[in-house]
Amino acid sequence: MTAVAGDFYWFIAVDPHRAGFLVADVSGHGVPAALIASMIKVAMQSVVTCADYPGSVLSGVERTLSGQLRGQFVSAAYLWLDTEKRKALYSAAGHPPLLRWSQGRLESIQSNGLIFGVMSGCQYPVREISITAGDRFVLYTDGLIEPENLNGESFGDRRLGEMVCNGHSLSSSEVSDRLLSELRHWPACIRTPARRHHSHRHRRALENIRLPKEWDEAEAGVEAVFVVAG
């Protein structure tokens, strides 16, 4: 488990062909968010046996967090990749959509249940996706799309999608680096004449997440890109 501000991510690497990836976004920062991160870690350790089914993973995490959030909320997304069966499974809890670049086309994939912290006992729908060599999946949090520049313009889904499309020939780490570089400079951008009200400029923790060694993306032929900006 690694944390960047209020964002957290976790890998379950079963073998070179199968792996699960969790990204979660906790409301708030500081000690409360860190405590929730430790609970997510415990929860993920308890659902390893069902790592190949995202709905069960998210339900297990939600059960662990239920009654502990105390007014805080957690959005999460979990992606399971099986390159041997050429299949991906995806589910989310109130999280931004998964992006998939495949055969020259960008697809936005949603399969959302209720965000953690609203009510307990929720079920999380699972989307099955056939995968082919060269596919690229992008998991991220809203810390990537919500930052505003000096004109109050958010980075946004459209800009994110354009950068993923334009970077289709780059490696996953290069795409991640470019996104984070663009985001670092975004708050200072002025695209139109100055407006009377400027948004507050936030400092954000940025990190390019590297895949675990067990997951050899060159061998698998499928890439997962993670961008955490909390």
Q: What are the tens digits of pLDDT across the range 47-83? A: 999 999 999 999 999 998 887 787 888 999 999 999 8
Q: What are the tens digits of pLDDT across the range 162-218? A: 999 998 888 888 888 888 888 888 877 655 443 322 222 223 333 344 445 444 444
Q: What is the pLDDT confidence band of residue 226, given thresholds at 50, 70 and 90?
A: low
Q: In terms of pLDDT, which residue wins out, 6 or 45?
A: 45
CA angle, 101 then 60 then 4, to 5°: 55
Find the mean pLDDT for residues 148-163: 89
Find the mean pLDDT for residues 148-162: 89
User: Domains of the chain, with CATH numbers?
Assistant: 2-229 (3.60.40.10)
Q: What are the tens digits of pLDDT across the range 94-150? A: 999 999 999 999 999 999 999 998 888 889 999 999 998 889 999 988 888 888 888
- Please report, for the chain, how many H helices and E strands are present, in that order: 5, 12
158 to each of 49, 99, 125, how far by Cα in Å?
Answer: 37, 12, 25
- Angle of the 54-65 helix axis to the 30-46 helix axis, nearest 10: 130
Find the mean pLDDT for residues 155-167: 90
Q: What is the pLDDT of residue 171?
A: 84
Q: Specify whether the CB–CB gap between 21 and 226 falls below 8 A.
A: yes
103/83 Cα distance (integer angstroms): 16
The residue behind tokens 């999380």 is 124
- Angle of the 172-185 helix axis to the 156-166 helix axis, nearest 10: 140
Q: What are the tens digits of pLDDT across the range 21-36? A: 999 988 866 667 778 8
Q: What is the pLDDT of residue 58?
A: 96
Q: What is the pLDDT of residue 34?
A: 73
Of the chain, the percentage scoring pLDDT greater than 90 comes to 34
- Tell me the sheet residues that pair with 113: 93
217/223 Cα distance (integer angstroms): 6
Strands 18-26 vs 7-15: parallel, antiparallel or unpaired? antiparallel
DSSP state of 116: B
Q: How far apart are the first and last CA of the chain?
A: 15
List, in order, residues 6 or more apart from 169 with CB less than 8 Å away: none
- Torsion, Cα of 187, 21, 208, 72 (10° steps): 40
Residue 196 sits at φ, ψ, to 5 deg, of -70, -30
Q: What is the pLDDT of residue 165?
A: 92
Q: What is the pLDDT of residue 39?
A: 83
Selection from 12, 81, 18 nearest residue 40 by Cα: 12
127/145 Cα distance (integer angstroms): 23
